[in-house]
Structure 1
């Protein structure tokens, strides 16, 4: 039985080796799909192009913008003067997020200990938009906590310090866990496609009946 299976495998291997189209498909299909699925569906949000409309120009708006500037998730690439200019940047796709400070932002924090900042996000990519809003809220909340405690970042004392250590994927690259799974899916798809092409080839050659009555 094993010898018959090996003989059939040898026969199919010869046919694949002789067919240039199948050889090309076996090589090109996995590589192409691996690049598309591995890097095209990357949901990580880093260095998000961001525009700023600072109508306040006070110490707190500059301080908060500095936190955004030092974050790895945002790149402040445009400083605009009007709301229309900010909207145009989002409409054209030049930026994916806008930060707008009202004229009384710093005064509100100093007088009432409360103020607001508006975040405008391009929602065409809902997943990236959700992540960018989450990161932006984290930056703002961190700045707010430090202001409530009345301390600068260098002087802030935190009783419990968290020291995370990530194993096996220290940079938390999404590709590192997506690609192995994608390879398995591609191998499964490639097996189905090659098998279908082999059956069609047998029918073209008129040898499908021999394959169907083979004692395996």
Structure 2
């Protein structure tokens, strides 16, 4: 998950979340004791769904979850953190600079502003919006053989069912996946994601 060469970076990021991230209101004080299980490891297991040397766009990045975690865990990735709010992008830029993440860039804008400008192998998000709205923001950013990977909670399957008509109209297929339930992470509960691809797409990885 975090190789030995990257674990120190993950520890430094955890310190930044617990410190400045809490001061800026990006992480609640009650989250600090469970940063690793609930946030870092919870996000790191998403890398299982990201192919090698992929480009990743993390929309509504907030405190950098999961985008910064993916950039730390996977130096082969090219990660773009998209966040419209100034105070959050200022924090993200400070984190990227402090950790020396050369494979990570921050862009202050809404996801819609990137439509028609860039395409990515994987577009990630974490608790950003209900699935239909999230797809409207994310799908135009996905490369032809790419995927949307949205971190969701216990209602993931219900969200997919509720969005069935939208998925059909967009020509997409969705699946709910649980990650990190087995050793060595043993997340309880596991990380639940919805992966969306265009129907018939041969997804990389």
Scaled by the length of structure 2, what TM-score is found? 0.27
Bigger radius of gyration: 1
Q: Which has the higher strand share?
A: 2
Scaled by the length of structure 1, what TM-score is found? 0.26
Higher RCO (CA < 8 A, seq sep 6+): 1
Q: Which has the higher helix share?
A: 1
